[in-house]
Chains A and B, each alone.
Chain A
Amino acid sequence: MTGDREPVGWDEPLTEADFLLLDEIRRVTEADDPVPDELVPIIRFAMEMQNLDEEVSWLSAASPAPADVRGGEVEDGVGTRTITFEGDGDSLTIMVRISGGADARGVRIDGWLAPPAGHRIELRTPAGELATVADEQGRFVLDDVPHGLAQLVVRPLRGSSDAESGPGLTVTTPAIVL
């Protein structure tokens, strides 16, 4: 096929045959790379939790990783995941280690905040919230966390000395599946 000439019919209006072809492309593409089942539930969960007038700083998982694993996520093969959530510039970084199998005790989350500070930590789940406070090294633990959808929210201490974050600037991670 020559690249010199325009393909036939490129400047003609779209016809029903074109739309049928696009339908077929959609079906093929969806079959080969479907939207993950948990994505819409995760989004709806995260949006329900979000207050409309709350000013929130959004973190995302970022650092190199093999394909098909969240950027900041590492699995060690024994059922422990480590995820690092970062924001832009000097904003807060949260590292969490998620451990615990499918036993009745649920999931344990060990977390570290950087820069370290005793901020309030909330874990939002469909069943309600778990809350704790990080220590002055920024370390926190949440235990007996149910499997399923979860989202971490960090509320800075009042009178935080960190001029970058400022009081009231809540930080949230994407909702994930524990």
Chain B
Amino acid sequence: MSGSDSVESVRDAAARTQRDRLALLLKASQEGRRDGLGQIIEELTPLLWRVARAQGLSTQDAEDAVQAAWLALLGNLGELRDPGALTGWLLVVVKRESWRVKAARDRERSVETEVLSDLIDPSIAPEGTVLEDERRQAVRSALGRLPERCQQLMRVVAFAHRPDYDAVAAALGMPRGSIGPTRGRCLAKLRALLDADPSWAVPS
């Protein structure tokens, strides 16, 4: 019995469902209709938000960059033949827009460009059960100890479906294969850090 196969296919099914929705959406949009736009905006915005924040943008600038990416889509629907390319396309636009916003800033500004790790305080743990707190804190702590680019990759790819992992890595300027189909160095490092943390131990 291949239990991992059956659980993998649940995730892959979710990815396929999203891709089917994208296909319908693109077809409708290319015909001048906007059916289904709302749902796909809800589904993909968290990933785009994460990419913009990973570039070090403030919350307001990240909002504008994500909005710009979606509006750019409307002007370029004809370019997209393959619904599978939509997520990658949006990721590229968000990153380009994020860089554009950053480049427009005064380089002498007194506040340094924030990196994602600065924006998130690893010592803060939200309310929850004690066990949940410890495990969540273990993940937070381990993430914070990863090299910066690995941390970025992990935080962003966590919001994507597996078929989009390559596109996410590319959007972050990481080499192909940084994650998927193999674990990759970043995730392997993270697991090693967690394995060394007693509060991460899986309860029996």
Are the CB atoms of B45 and A35 closer together than 8 Å? yes
Known: A31-B126, A39-B49. A25 touches B158 (CB 8 A): yes
Which B residues are CB-close (under 8 A) to A88? Answer: 100
Are the CB atoms of B184 and A47 closer together than 8 Å? no
Question: Which residues, 119 to 178 on A, are CB-close (under 8 Å) to B?
Answer: 172, 174-175
Asked if A42 lies at the interface with its beta carbon under 8 angstroms from chain B, I say yes
Which 5 A-B pairs rank lowest in CB-CB distance, beginning with the nearest? A70-B60, A62-B104, A7-B188, A10-B188, A26-B158
Asked if B37 lies at the interface with its beta carbon under 8 angstroms from chain A, I say yes
Which A residues are CB-close (under 8 A) to B24? Answer: none
Interface of A with B (CB < 8 Å)? 1, 6-16, 18-19, 21-33, 35-36, 38-40, 42-44, 46-48, 50, 52, 55-56, 58, 60-71, 73, 86, 88, 172, 174-175
Asked if B130 lies at the interface with its beta carbon under 8 angstroms from chain A, I say no
- Whole-angstrom distance from the CB of B4 to the nearest CB of chain A? 5
Interface of B with A (CB < 8 Å)? 3-4, 7-8, 11, 29, 32, 34, 37-38, 41-42, 45-46, 49-50, 53, 58-61, 63-68, 70-72, 74-75, 77, 97, 100-101, 104-106, 109, 111, 114, 116, 119-121, 124, 126, 135-136, 139-140, 143, 154-155, 157-159, 162, 179-185, 187-194
Which B residues are CB-close (under 8 A) to A9? Answer: 183, 188, 191
Which A residues are CB-close (under 8 A) to B162? Answer: 14
> B67, B185, B191: which contacts A21 (Cβ < 8 A)?
B191
| Cα–Cα, bound, A27→B136 (Å) | 9
Q: Is the interface of B mostly helix, strand, loop or mixed?
A: helix
> B100, B124, B181: which contacts A60 (Cβ < 8 A)?
B100
| Cα–Cα, bound, A63→B103 (Å) | 10
Which A residues are CB-close (under 8 A) to B111? Answer: 66-67
Are the CB atoms of B70 and A43 closer together than 8 Å? yes
Complex: chain B residue closest to A60, CB-CB = B64
Complex: chain A residue closest to B108, CB-CB = A64
Which A residues are CB-close (under 8 A) to B158? Answer: 22-23, 25-26, 29
Complex: chain B residue closest to A172, CB-CB = B71
Are the CB atoms of B67 and A174 closer together than 8 Å? yes
Knowing that A29-B155, A58-B71, A71-B60 are A-B contacts, what are 20 other residue pairs whose CB atoms are under 8 Å apart, sorted by A's residue number? A10-B184, A21-B191, A23-B158, A24-B139, A25-B154, A29-B50, A31-B126, A36-B59, A39-B67, A43-B41, A43-B66, A47-B34, A52-B77, A55-B75, A60-B68, A60-B101, A64-B105, A68-B59, A70-B61, A175-B67
> A18, A42, A68: which contacts B183 (Cβ < 8 A)?
A18
Known: A25-B139, A71-B58. A18 touches B187 (CB 8 A): yes
Are the CB atoms of A52 and B104 closer together than 8 Å? no
Are the CB atoms of A174 and B136 closer together than 8 Å? no
Complex: chain B residue closest to A24, CB-CB = B139
Which B residues are CB-close (under 8 A) to A19? Answer: 7-8, 11
Are the CB atoms of A52 and B67 closer together than 8 Å? no
Are the CB atoms of B136 and A7 closer together than 8 Å? no
Are the CB atoms of A70 and B106 closer together than 8 Å? no
Which A residues are CB-close (under 8 A) to B193? Answer: 1
**Could you give 17 example pairs across A and B, Cβ below 8 Å?**
A10-B188, A13-B182, A16-B4, A16-B8, A18-B183, A21-B191, A24-B136, A24-B139, A28-B140, A29-B50, A31-B126, A38-B63, A46-B71, A58-B68, A60-B68, A62-B101, A68-B60
Known: A9-B188, A16-B8, A23-B158. A44 touches B41 (CB 8 A): yes
- Whole-angstrom distance from the CB of A146 to the nearest CB of chain B? 20
> B4, B66, B114, B185: which contacts A7 (Cβ < 8 A)?
B185
